[in-house]
Each structure stands twice: as C-alpha cells, then as structure tokens.
Structure 1
C-alpha cells in the first residue's frame, strides 16, 4: 500500500488557532481552537497534555467535514451543483461560469489564484503551505485526524472509553475525507500515520481498490468499537448534535461502496481513454473490470445497517408528516434535509447556525440571480398522485388547459418557487403573492433584482429570504440549520440502486416507495405501469436516479456526483432549459405587468407556459457543440506542481 508523508503535523496549529466554522456550535467548534496564552507556543505535547486541548483538536477534525456552502470549498461563490443538469449559474464571477462553462479549466490553472477546481487536491503553495485554509484540501483534515489517532493514548486525564470513542469518531471523519477525494480524483495516496518530522512525499496514489478498502477498514474499526454509540441519546442532542456515531460509520460504508460499484470505476472499459493513461494502467481510476459482487457488497452493507438499526430500536428513520396534507408533507421534508437533530440525518454538518439573507453561498448568489433551478429539474418531480410528470403537453397552449404547478410532488414546492395557484405554506403575505410571470413582481428582501433567471427561484435551504421589514414573511433565521451529508432517505435509495443492479427489482421498488410515501406519492410501479419497472432494470435505474434528484438534489452535490458516477454523459451535454410564464387576460392575451391586491381583480389564474433553451451570460461550451465534451470532466485534474515532484503521483486521464 502506498503511503503519503510530509512535513510536521503541528503546522495545523499555525492556522488552527484562528477562527474556524462551527461543526457542533455548543462545544465551541469555531470559537477559536486552542486559545493559547500570549507568547505561548502550542505543540503536540501541549495538545495531548489535557483532555480539553485534545477535544479541541477533535472539534477541528469535525470542522473539516465537507459542506457545499463553506467558503473554502465553494468555487468563488459558485455552487458545484450548477455543474449538473438541475441548476445553472448566471453569476458573473464564479469559477463555474468563468472556467467550467467555458471549458477553459486545465490542470495548470485548476488551483491558481482565484480559480479553483471542483475540489482542492492540496492547498495553494503545496505541502509547505498546509496552513492555508482559503481553499481547504483533503489533507488538512486528514492530518488532524491521524494526529489525534496516533497520540490520544498520551492524554493523562481522559478515560480509556473516551479515548476509544474519540478515536472512532476521527476514523469516520477520515473516511469522509477519503470519500470526498474519491469522488473527485479516484485513487489517493494513503495516509495511515500522523505526519511528523521533516518527512516528504515519497509515493504516489494507491489504486482505487486500495483507497476504497482503506476507507472501509476505518469504518469497520469504528463500527466494531463498543464505546461508540449507535446514535446520540435525545438528552445529548442540544449539546452534541452533529457528533458521529456507529450508525454514521455503517451508513457511510454503504455510500462509499455504492460509489465504488458504479460505472465510473466498476466497468470493463475505463471512463476516459484520452492520454495520459498512467492512472488507468495503474488502476487508480477504475478497477479494470466489471464485477457484480461490488454491488452485492453494497446490498450487504445496507442490510447490515438496517439490521443494526433495528437492533437499536430503529432509531434512524424518516421524518414523517404530522398530517397527510401538502403542508404536512412539505414540513416533514424540510425538517428531513434542513433541521438539526432529527432522527433522519445520519451525518450532519454544522457549518453555520443560521442561513442569513446575505450568506455569500448560496443565499447571496441566489439573491443575485444565480444558483437557479432549471426546467429540466422541475420536470423530474411527479404529480402528487405519483404519476411521472407529463405536463409538456400543455406547453404553448393559450391558456394552458392544466395548471402544471398544481397537484405536484410536495418536494417541488420545497425545492423551487413556482407559479402555483393558491400557493400554500408560502412566506409571502397577501399583498405580495408569488408572481413569476413575465412582468410580475417577485420581491426578495425588497429587491427587484433578477432572482428568477430560468423561471424558478431556488427555495431549498435558502427558503424565500424575505424578512418582515422587506416585504416578505421569511423564516430563514428562525431555526438552526444543518447540511445533511447522509440521511435515511438516501440509505433507502442506495439500497434500491444496489438491489436493482443485482436483479432484485421488486425489492428495489419497495425501497423507492418508502421514500415516496413520506410525501404522499403513490407507489411508483403502480402509477407508472408503462415503465415496466419490475421487468426493466434500465428503466428502474433511471427512475431511481430521478428520485434521487427530487429527494437529494442540491444536498452536497448529489445530482452532480450521480451524473459522474453513472456516466450520464447525455445529461451533461444536453441544452438545459428554462420557462417563460405569461399571464393572460380574458381575451387570452399576454399581460406583462404585476398584479396588485388594490386593483380589484382576482389573482390571475390563466397562464401560458413556454419552454426555451438557456443562453444567458454563461452558456455551457457543450451547448453549441456537444462534440466538445470530453469524459475527462468526470474526474478533476491533479496539480502539475505535485506531479512534477516525481514521487509517483499520476495525472487523471485527459488532463495536462
């Protein structure tokens, strides 16, 4: 197994003492790790001389958990999900539009200056600049975890039980970071000890098999640790919500194995045949063959999780609606993906307490007219009875015979704002209803900015951004939020996908239906008999991917990573669409002006829907010529400066 070694780990102290972002707010993560006395040097001996200092190191490990909205991970305020087909960015300064949409990203410019690739392989400045937190790499957090694992036995005032539990938590965090790296780069250098002395990088990447096995071994060790609880007791949630558990380790194991079993790695053909092919030959970006046993391993991991969960009183479970209404389903879904301390979220990241109107990402970029949902995403959400959306037949009618935004999957209304009659459970008062038609007045924080470039303002996470003194009745700051890195709904969908890949379609369908029933949808195979989901594996996999987009879209780039791991090339190259909505008068003529409650007219109910291909300021390079697409984009480039150090690091296919 290849090893990764470099300069002293105590480098983390040069930056770790500065303000970090909260992971578990009540335990001071983000309040200034290790507030040392003036003039005092902080070193390993001090860190492991006291339980309290060692705990601060663990909290810093937690700070390294990935959040798509944390500034050190965003692409200059760009949201990575805008590389998928469900969102498109109109932001003028993010790397999404400037580098990815133009197709000008190279290995050389991927992490230079303000430009950032999908994920930083290493901090700007390389090993010697590991204290640079502006573009946090995988290894910042890996370093902290290994330091704790190797040295926690030295702490004099900590019980053996506490040491064992903290070690297990650090191993889960370490596995999370390796999973982050696998999704962006494939095989990685293996770090299995704390960095010390003047060690240098000595060997390159491990194979994808070795990398996955390393992460799974960490999780198996955490699962086997008797001092790590399966879940956090209710009494501990106020203080400890967000801490990792045995349940988190078991669920993450299934998620990693699912990615590894996907066509990106598990195939008889490498995903990209462009030069350089060193990483292909070394099996660092694929297994070299297809083996269904890899999918069976996912099935086994899921069943282990569900069995252990049952043995622990089925603690992890979906948040269910308190009443079977649209409002009830919406509230349950919002709690599931956004609220802290629910029994649905298995791994939750606390990178802030509240999401304010002017958080740079995603709130500010949404407010500025970027981070917007596409018509392609809107069409993925079924009707409220569970039938797949077929509203395209009403486009272009004047007026449309059916309100395409009424009687839809309740998750649609929690994901994006749509022109829905009788928009229930909204956050606009009677004098400021949702007016998304051309010329309508859609107020956001009192602004008339272009917040709906493709017709559908983002609602998920950011809610409506409307405060009481600015025209809205928003609840954006009313309760603490979290980012769901992994939650119970995804476990059912992971299990469904693996079962389908192993030929167990009927059982797979049942897992999908468990998720759908939470929001009142009818069973997918009953409502869509034309798809023959029991007998057609390909159709079933497509439906699982669509269901994942509806349930998990915009959560840690789940749709983007699904498109990558399943090699959904046609979805990367298709021209994405928006929708013009036109208000019609009694003569079915377009009326491009806002409605006012003082006009004496009832709120408009007649509309025309017109789809269009997005252009805007940031068209994607493949739209004008799909043949320009290259499968090199499936994985990110590694920095040439590291490759040129000649310790064996290889470049991913297609990148120079």
Structure 2
C-alpha cells in the first residue's frame, strides 16, 4: 500500500444549515484530509477506495481556489489592491505598509516568518511542509488536482461519466492556479503529475510560452469533455453554485490569454532590464517579442465563449436592473459581483458563507483603514449620463457650485461611501442621512476615522459591516457571499481590449457599452466625443482600463494586475490623494459638528471639497522620490532557498 507522506486536509461534513450554500461550504476543509485514528497513515488506496472520499479530495481542490480575502493569501491581513492606485493601507502591521510601501522587500525576506510577498511561491518550510495552510502556495492546490487526475480511474463506485466530469473540473481549477502564478512570477515549473511531499520538485522553471500552453491545454481538454456541462442547471444552484463548468473553462482561457497578451509579456522589450537577467534570457518572463496574434488569440477565445453560450441558450448573461433607476442599477451590480449562483459569474469562490464569518480581511482590518478608497478611484467614475468626471473644477469653492456626488455612475455608491445628498446608508433611517464631512457622524465602523482615512469608506463587499461583534453600530446583510474570480462583465471588457488592440475600435466599443448600459450610462463615444474613441486606439484602451476599475476594482486585485500587465508605471509612482468634505453655513464658514434631526436645522446642502496628498503613517517610498521606482516590482521574487536547490529555478529581474 502506497503511503502518503503529506496530509491533504481534514474534512468535516457540515450538514444542516450550510447545505444550501454551495459545494465548498458543504464540506468544511481544515488541516487534515480524512479523519483517522491516531497513528494511522492516510494512503491513496483509501482515498480512491470510495466515491465519497474522492469527492472530499475534489472539494479540497475547490478550497484551493484563490480569494483575496482568505488569510492564507493576504499579506499579513493586508489586501493586495492596496498596492494599486485605488486603495492605500493605513494598517499598522500588514506587509503592504511594512515591506512594499517602504521598499524594504527583498528576495531573501519575501517569504520568511510572517512576511509574505505578493504570492507564496512555496509554502513556508518548503515542499516537505505542504500541509501548512497558513501561507498557501500555488503547489498545494496543484498537487491535490494532479492527485485526483492521476488516480480517479481507480474509484470502484463511480461511473465513467462522473470520473470524466470530476477530472475536467480539477483541470479547470489547476489552470486557475497557473494563471495565479503567471500573474505574479511569469513562467513556472510544469507539474503534470502528483508529486510527493518527501520529493524535491523535479521540473525546473519553464518558459512563459510553455507554461501558458500547458494551462491552455488543460482548459481545452476540459472544454472538449462531453460530461462537463456548459452551465449548472438552475435546480442545482442552491446546492452546487461554484462548481466548474465548460463556461468557466472558456472564460478562464480568455482571461489567461488576455493577461499574457498584455505589454508585460507581449513586448519587444523586457519589462525590467536590471540584473539578474537569466529569466529574461530564458524567455521565462516575456515572449521575447511583440506579436499581435496573441491579441487575436484573445479575440478567438472570447468569440468561442459567446458562440458556445449562444448555442446553450445564452445561459450566462449580465444581471440587469429590474427598473431603470439608480436603486435598480445598484441592486443589479451588487448581485452581479456578490450574490451566489447568479448567471453572470463564471468562476465564484466560496471562502466563507457570510462576510461576518471570521477572517481578517476585509471584515476586521477594514475598520483600521487597510482597504481605504482613494480620491483617485472616486474620480474614475463618470457622471450618471456617461460623461467623464470633471468635478475637479468645483474643488476649493465655498460652497461648491455643484454636488460632485450627485448624478454619478451608480457603481460609485456601491463601491465607496460618499457625501451624497439624500444618500441613506443601510443602517440609518430616513431622518439620519450620511454625514461624511469633517465633524459629521459616521459611526458605522466604531470609529470616527479609522475606516475612512482618505475620505471614502469602502462599501464594496463589506456593505454596512459594523455590527456589534465588529465594534460598530451597523448590521450586515445575511446573504451568502461569493468572491467573483471571473464574471461575464470581465469577458466583455477583455473582448473590448483585445478588439481595440487588433484595430477594431467600433466592435470594441460595442462590448464596452454593453457593460456600461447595465448601470444606465450613455454610450461612451457619444457622451465623450472629444476623445475620438472610434479612431483613437490609445484613448480607447485608456477608457477600457478606466471602465475595468469602475466595474472590477477590489475583485481579485483586478486593478493591481491591470497596472502590472499594462506596465502602468506612472500610476504606480503618482502621489495618491484623499478628500476632506467640509460642511458650510450660509456665510461660507466651516461647521465641524454632527447634524441631528432634533436640531431644527435642515440637512446641510452647502459643502466645500478639499483634495490633499495622502501621507498618513504608511507613505509610499516613491512619493518623495519617484526615481526610486524599479520595474522589478512588476513581478514578485522567487525564494532564494528554492533557487539554491538547483532544480532549475531562476530569479526574476531586479531581485537579488
């Protein structure tokens, strides 16, 4: 009997209330795969002796899907979007502030102790410690998927159709792990079998092209599998929402090809020319040239998705508003990114049932300013008619001639809390509207300042998080949440970008406007004629990037990865800003106190808007001297101790 020298993760069957919540939540996965008597080894013969045990392994594979809110993937509770320009962390202990903002991260300290780089290449303690779930690496999930793929044929009480479907699901999950790794490291070792915990990694680092081909091959095999359905039947959503489908596979294929077609890899010049250059020379961190056919491959993948979706009754569709109103648009958008089992989400991750279920991020550290929205992000949202935001001209006026928070893109109000007249926060009644001005009452997070250090508390995902057990006055909704790893809105935007890159502006605009219309925005080329979007490729791509951050910001670090893949160096170096809102009396004097319905005064309508440069306790090292920036930050370092094992790893450029 072949003994397993690693533990795959304990399974506790959670029946009852959790049964409705989706495939991963039904099976609570902990630190050991099978409960067993003390001193008894778990072996492959046992795992693959019964269907139920093999299913536990498949659920373990699902548990390895990436979520930015899962502690094992955070940077000591820090959220990776805090490295982008839409959020800045004020948290005192996360690695965002301690290591990245200071510029103190090195290859040597990137995975030591509590410190973690952007993504763990290997678990702390190496392959021999792969059961360590505190800082999960790529390979934990890779190993579980390959173990299932290699051995599922042995299970006696499964049908061939079930074996084929489960194998296809594991291949899609496996491909997502390679996408995760490529986004942080570039080319990876190709692991096409289940390696053992006592073994050293056998394969060295592959070229980017070979790594991509391996992942795409897995997805193509899943797409070709007749027993993998295009979508889950509606009757299965309550129990099985979150399981992989053909739709998931084609969507992930488009997302992967989109990333690697971007300037980070698809370029005549490597993204970083600093030593060491071994990975550059081996084509592990770029293709070595620019080829428009890589963008054409993205177009083809998107068209494959839409053609297959049409052939299957158009199952996947955007969540549309029930009424063409601000509230209707907000509700539809929230359901699209947050609600389980909606028909827009292609890959949904269930890392907890409710947002209040304990985990540091974002539920706890939100209160301490770990994911605080910036003025830069607020300004990216257009006016409600679809025109570019130009409210900067009202800054500093006493009072401002226009309420800059009224008549904006409805997604703004679902993303951050702003001082919008008549905006009612969920926990407040009709007589107690939001008071975001200096001195106003905003106690939802148990503090006057902690959750809004730059003026805008994050609303996306956390909503009105602030219940008594979290130290505030608020309530949280009781709807089970998902993390949208990929949804249809992103496919439209991927398609738009690829079409623009291949010179098809008119077709790209159709895809872009499809997403905008869901929240009532006018067609972008009509509302912003000065941008010449039908002819100006560069302007169109900029607008697609802006649309991506309005639609997808704070979902699986989409903005951070966009900045990396498009080499948006100027945006990494720019000084980020916050905003102070001041309440003014009729004479134009600032009134720094809360408003009460019992005061006899009407709710304030006169405001002054003051933009300012963020400093706080965690200023970024490039703000005082942008020349300190290095393009090495575009990819993460690999652990030197793994490189020194001499199985074929190379270090990424700039990391010594």
Partner of 1:284: 284
CA distance in 2, matches of 1:58, 1:23: 14
Partner of 1:124: 124
Partner of 1:262: 262
Worse overlay, 363-372 or 30-39? 30-39
Worse overlay, 200-209 or 27-36? 27-36
1:653 aligns with 2:653: yes
Report how far residue 18 of structure 1 moved: 8.1
For the 8 Å contact 1:48–1:54, the answer to whether it is kept is: yes
Partner of 1:44: 44
Unaligned runs of 5+ in 2: none
Partner of 1:189: 189
For the 8 Å contact 2:129–2:197, the answer to whether it is kept is: no
Partner of 1:30: 29
Question: Superposition pairs for residues 544-563 of structure 1, below 5 Å?
Answer: 544-563=544-563
Question: Superposition pairs for residues 165-564 of structure 1, below 5 Å?
Answer: 165-196=165-196, 199-356=199-356, 359-424=359-424, 426-467=426-467, 474=475, 476-564=476-564
CA distance in 1, matches of 2:66, 2:648: 27
Partner of 1:10: 4
Worse overlay, 289-298 or 415-424? 415-424
Report how far residue 434 of structure 1 moved: 1.2
28 and 72 in structure 1: CA distance in 2 versus 1, 3 angstrom threshold = same
447 and 454 in structure 1: CA distance in 2 versus 1, 3 angstrom threshold = closer
CA distance in 2, matches of 1:655, 1:235: 51
Count of residue pairs the alignment pairs up:
648
Using structure 1 for the length normalisation, give the TM-score.
Answer: 0.96
Partner of 1:3: none
For the 8 Å contact 2:12–2:27, the answer to whether it is kept is: no
38 and 196 in structure 1: CA distance in 2 versus 1, 3 angstrom threshold = closer
Report how far residue 253 of structure 1 moved: 0.3
184 and 329 in structure 1: CA distance in 2 versus 1, 3 angstrom threshold = same
1:595 aligns with 2:589: no
Question: Superposition pairs for residues 59-208 of structure 1, below 5 Å?
Answer: 59-196=59-196, 199-208=199-208
For the 8 Å contact 2:317–2:344, the answer to whether it is kept is: yes
509 and 349 in structure 1: CA distance in 2 versus 1, 3 angstrom threshold = same
For the 8 Å contact 1:367–1:444, the answer to whether it is kept is: no
SS of 1:72's partner is: helix
For the 8 Å contact 2:24–2:63, the answer to whether it is kept is: no
Report how far residue 153 of structure 1 moved: 0.2
Report how far residue 26 of structure 1 moved: 5.2
Worse overlay, 234-243 or 279-288? 234-243
615 and 189 in structure 1: CA distance in 2 versus 1, 3 angstrom threshold = same
Using structure 2 for the length normalisation, give the TM-score.
Answer: 0.96
CA distance in 2, matches of 1:399, 1:197: 66
Report how far residue 433 of structure 1 moved: 2.3
CA distance in 2, matches of 1:179, 1:576: 29
SS of 1:608's partner is: strand
SS of 2:280's partner is: helix
Unaligned runs of 5+ in 1: 1-7
Report how far residue 197 of structure 1 moved: 8.3
For the 8 Å contact 1:9–1:144, the answer to whether it is kept is: no
Deviations 1:211-249 (A, max 9, x none): 000000000000000000000001001111100000000
CA distance in 2, matches of 1:14, 1:337: 31
For the 8 Å contact 1:258–1:498, the answer to whether it is kept is: yes
For the 8 Å contact 1:29–1:60, the answer to whether it is kept is: no
For the 8 Å contact 1:9–1:195, the answer to whether it is kept is: no
SS of 1:13's partner is: coil
For the 8 Å contact 1:636–1:652, the answer to whether it is kept is: yes
SS of 2:347's partner is: strand
CA distance in 2, matches of 1:389, 1:492: 23
SS of 2:77's partner is: coil
For the 8 Å contact 1:381–1:389, the answer to whether it is kept is: yes
For the 8 Å contact 2:130–2:197, the answer to whether it is kept is: no
Report how far residue 467 of structure 1 moved: 3.9
202 and 25 in structure 1: CA distance in 2 versus 1, 3 angstrom threshold = closer
Partner of 1:620: 620
Deviations 1:521-543 (A, max 9, x none): 00000000000000000000000
Report how far residue 471 of structure 1 moved: 7.5
Report how far residue 622 of structure 1 moved: 0.3
CA distance in 2, matches of 1:635, 1:197: 27
For the 8 Å contact 2:425–2:464, the answer to whether it is kept is: no
Deviations 1:22-42 (A, max 9, x none): 972453143774333455431
19 and 78 in structure 1: CA distance in 2 versus 1, 3 angstrom threshold = farther
Report how far residue 443 of structure 1 moved: 1.1
SS of 1:456's partner is: coil
For the 8 Å contact 1:356–1:477, the answer to whether it is kept is: no
Worse overlay, 441-450 or 282-291? 441-450
For the 8 Å contact 1:427–1:466, the answer to whether it is kept is: no
Report how far residue 478 of structure 1 moved: 1.3
Report how far residue 16 of structure 1 moved: 4.3
For the 8 Å contact 1:63–1:351, the answer to whether it is kept is: yes
Report how far residue 363 of structure 1 moved: 1.9
CA distance in 2, matches of 1:413, 1:338: 15
SS of 2:454's partner is: coil
For the 8 Å contact 1:242–1:350, the answer to whether it is kept is: yes
